[in-house]
Amino acid sequence: MSKITFIGAGSTVFAKNILGDVMHTPALQGFEIALYDIDADRLRDSETMLQNIKLTSGSACEIKAYSDRKEALRGAKYIVNAIQVGGYDPCTITDFEIPKKYGLRQTIADTVGIGGIFRNLRTIPVMLDFAKDINEVCPDALFLNYTNPMAVLTNVMNTHGGVNTVGLCHSVQVCVPHLFKHLGMETEGVKWHIAGINHMAWLLEVSKNGVDLYPEIKRRAAEKQKEKHDDMVRFEMMLKFGYYITESSEHNAEYHPYFIKRNYPELIERFNIPLDEYPRRCVNQIQNWADMRDKLVNDKGLEHCRSHEYASYILEAIETDVPFRIGGNVMNTGLITNLPKEACVEVPCLVDRNGVTPTYVGDLPPQLAALNRTNINTQLLTIEAAVTGKRDHIYHAAMLDPHTSAELSMDDIVSLCDELIEAHGSWLPKYV
């Protein structure tokens, strides 16, 4: 029996989407679905929920929870990763509250920025431990990474873990539908092309019947900017740099030096930027889980409809050899020619029996490549810090981050990093 292993299966709602999709996919019947999580209670909840979906769907998949990670991985053909190291308390709180003391404010803090750097530093060692197990007990497995910071972790698993990894993010899938809905435009018959890096990929082309839709998109966006809405940062970036970005405005507000500035507090109001957004979401999710747990976990009649998540479609394409196209995060093997070869990029990929095959993009418009490189710099220095154990590279990563460096002096950045390292304690390895 082939095996699909889900690491971080205590993410019950996400496990429902990914593994519920698997159980509704004819080509994936008969697989063992192996569940692993360090939280035994949440693991048990997910197992119970999935057994209920198995009954209502009539799936022939076998569901099994494991307390031993290596045994959960043993013989796996596919691995789905959805972990979060450190959670809301204590690590996310630390990522937000200590920078605030220095006047450095954040919105999401899960990609780059000072929060993204430290989320990477506590997650990379865990991922490399996964890689050791994978190379021992399932070396040919395809690793589907959903964990942020996406670009760095996917890069690390490929280059330092020796694991065949593709990173998957929702932002490419929903980019054009959400943009067109916001602008009151129809997507039927529209084709588009997206490439860049995770959370900062670009809608490079968008057309219908050979007609470029960008002029109309920009006209409507400029009108929208005259009043408050939830996507003001991305619209502003598009109007200034020429292209729309895949990830949300609350994310992109902290990827650039232009929006969250303590000496210009009026920008927060002008661009409707939700500071401390991720901690609020965490608190709400914790409260909502307490309310929804019984309904989700103990409903023996729980049903599921196949979602838009890529995972089951990727597995189906490989198993059936019926091609499927995704936006995937992969290493830059000459795919985007004006971004560093060491970078992880997000490009269209073809999936079939050969696995995930990324497609060639060529040069991005120069201003877009330049913006991507500002974030890639921090990503690569964060990896350097993690694999060498050198504290100086943590400083380098932070000093190269666009938002952090725009707000703080070099001395303050070093002091902030030192304080964060101390506060994280055993969540981080020792740096010298």
Active site residues: 170
**Cβ neighbours of residue 164 closer than 8 Å, sequence gap 6 or more:** 140, 141, 142, 143, 158, 355
Strands 344-352 and 62-66, bridge-based pairing:
unpaired
Other residues' Cβ atoms within 10 Å of the Cβ of residue 316: 18
Query: Is 76 in a helix, a strand, or coil?
Result: strand
Q: How far apart are CA 264 and CA 268, in angstroms?
A: 8
Which burial class, exposed, middle or buried, applies to 366 when counting CB atoms under 10 A from its CB (0-12, 13-18, 19+)?
A: exposed
Phi-psi region of 225 (alpha: psi -120 to 50; beta: other; left: phi over 0): alpha
Are 272 and 230 within 8 A, CB to CB?
yes
For residue 178, give both structure tokens: 């959400």
Yes or no: say if 147 and 81 are a contact pair by the CB < 8 Å rule: yes
The annotation status of 251 as a binding-site residue, yes or no, is: no
Task: Please give the Cα distance from 424 to 198 (Å, whole number).
Answer: 26
Q: Does 169 count as an annotated binding residue? A: yes
Q: CB neighbours of 369 closer than 8 A, spacing ≥ 6?
A: 336, 338, 339, 363
Closest Cα partner for 378 from 365, 368, 393, 388? 393
Task: Please indicate if the annotation marks 256 as binding a ligand.
Answer: no
Does residue 197 contact residue 149 with C-beta atoms inside 8 Å?
no
- For 338, counting Cβ atoms within 10 Å of its Cβ (0-12 exposed, 13-18 middle, 19+ buried), the class is middle
Tell me the C-alpha distance between 12 and 51, whole Å: 13
Q: Name the binding residues for Mn(2+).
A: 169, 199
Q: Which residues are annotated as a binding site for substrate?
A: 148
